[in-house]
Amino acid sequence: MTLDELESGAPLDLAIIGGGINGCAVAEEAAARGLRVGLFEATDFGFGTTWRSTKLIHGGLRYLEHGDVRLVFESLKERAWLLKTRPYLVTPQRFILPMLPWTRRPAWQLRAGLSTYDMLALYRGVPSHRRLSRGRLREMAPYLPESANGGFSFFDARVHAPERLTLELALSAEALGASIHNHARVTRIAEEGGAVTAVEVTAAERTYTIPTRAVVNAGGPWVDAVNRLEDVPAPEMLGVTRGTHIVVELDEPPGHNAVFSTAKSDGRVFFSVPQGDLLLIGTTDERYDGDPSEIRPVNADIEYLVAEARELLPGYDITRERIRYAYAGLRPLQKVAGGPEAAISRRHAVLDHGKLGGARGVYSVVGGKLSTFRPLAEEVVARLNPPGKRAVHTGEPPAGWRDSLLASGLPKPSLRHLRVYGAAIPEVLALGREVVCEHSGAIAGEVRHAVRNEHVVTLGDIMLRRTGISWAACRGLCCHRAVAAIAAEEAGWSREQVTDQVRAFEDEVAYHLPTEESLAADHFAAG
């Protein structure tokens, strides 16, 4: 439904603010259970925390350290479900855990923790852990320090495009009857008599008043900012931390194994994860009190990540010059006073504003992690007493996706790149197989498919959160004008609009995926 139709129609049963993975999952669950749903995202689906994560679907091995067995079990259950139902998006990932002089736990404790991890997973979806001798570790990971005294291997999973997983949920919600809108900012939550009555939504320079019986604030890092839009604002709920990553290009592709360790300087969890021919390294965990919209990496983050990567991965000779770009996201965790950032629970909470002195019918979702969106959505929707039964999620992946891809005759980079489309692969191929970006392997059919079917508004939507071209070493700057020309044919953009879209994309990628040189320049200017 259009925003005009929502404004003039009967009240929604539920208005959802925020189109990250949690908001889109709530929309799908609520629509499946018979509720009249509207989803409003200020920027684009998956734009916030979802898009800028480490791209892992993990059970939370380190959460065992804090005794949160229930969260680990839930996460591992969801990991198994995603591996089964989304094999084109979520795949097993082997991690190497080396025993180093600065490893915080002795080998027997790590072995016990990994055994517990395997047991909680019920051995579903991935192999169990293995002990690695010093010699075997050197064979598998010669880039690790000479001081590594053996270690372990274990499996988790990675999601190749969390933004596309989010989009799938949004489009599924739409197919079930939800009305989904990106680039539609909620500017007020109205109430009357102590209960929510409407949300005001601004899109394309017009404001709509949309009646609703309930509101779920799934704004992620923007939860507190959204709550300030209430006539009677709720208390602050978030304790936000910044997680920064760098993406580096090595002399040779990094292979398939990821590394899980701790930072030498401060004991934080530290990852290196292959991302195609590039290597993703992270992450930091710093408290952040600024405007969520202004989040980006800072020079101190880059210095920390490079220094720790040189300690953990000396064989890769990682330097600032190898960085192709960096990015930073925010973890919307529950507000706590004091204590280390890494110890703040990743468990979600659903807060009823009516019980906190605010409007009845308004709820906020705080915390959570990428792999637990489904139980979170079920808990949120259960609060609304929906008329339908619990939603039934398919347990089978789309048929034939792999065969369609392999029969395409496209080069290997394109095959690897296109797998994330799953059931849509045949349509994407039919819309044009010419390669538009040699770095990512993206093809023209992706652009046409995105404009026709995936709620595209800007060139940035296409490059950053539909095709994923900008995750390549080129950041999409080798082909964005060609992509804009294809998009213009489909969307009817004028020459002036194309110019504006190209300029806006260049600004967006420079801000959100800055190069090492630009961050160093920012630091020098600030100093």
pLDDT, tens only, 387-445 = 877 666 656 788 888 999 999 999 999 999 999 999 999 999 999 999 999 999 999 99
Question: How much is the pLDDT for 125?
Answer: 78
Find the domain containing 361 and state its range: 3-49+163-236+345-382
Helix (H) or strand (E) holding 30: helix 21-32
Shortest CA distance to 388 belongs to which of 30, 37, 14, 39?
30
421 and 275 together in one domain: no
279 and 142 together in one domain: yes
How many structural domains compose the chain? 3
Q: What percent of the chain has pLDDT over 70?
A: 95
Question: How much is the pLDDT for 423?
Answer: 93
304 and 258 together in one domain: yes
N residues, the chain: 527
Q: Is 335 within a domain?
A: no
Mean pLDDT by 10 residues, the chain (527 residues): 97 98 96 96 95 90 79 92 95 97 93 92 85 98 97 97 97 97 98 97 97 97 95 86 96 96 94 96 92 94 97 97 96 70 67 93 92 94 84 73 92 96 96 97 98 98 98 98 98 98 98 91 59
Question: How much is the pLDDT for 523?
Answer: 57
* Rounded Cα gap, residues 417 and 479, in angstroms: 16
What residues contact residue 363 under an 8 Å CB cut-off, 6+ apart? 214, 215, 216, 217, 350, 351, 352, 353, 380, 383
Q: Is 336 within a domain?
A: no
Tokens of 437: 């970006």
42 and 90 together in one domain: no
245 and 150 together in one domain: yes
244 and 214 together in one domain: no
Asked, as a colleague might, if the bond just before 394 is cis with ω within 30 of 0, I would say no
Question: How much is the pLDDT for 524?
Answer: 52
Question: How much is the pLDDT for 70?
Answer: 87
Q: Is 72 within a domain?
A: no
The domain that contains 449 carries what CATH number? Answer: 1.10.8.870
Q: Is 78 within a domain?
A: no
Q: Is 523 within a domain?
A: no
291 and 416 together in one domain: no
Distances (CA, A) of 188 to 214, 327, 357: 14, 30, 18
Query: Tokens 């804090």 identify what position?
Result: 66
Of the residues 325, 358, 373, the one at which a domain ends: 325
Q: Is 176 within a domain?
A: yes
The domain that contains 282 carries what CATH number? Answer: 3.30.9.10
Question: How much is the pLDDT for 338?
Answer: 54
230 and 353 together in one domain: yes
422 and 483 together in one domain: yes
Would you tell me the crossing angle of helices 299-312 and 516-526 to the nearest 10 degrees?
130
251 and 132 together in one domain: yes
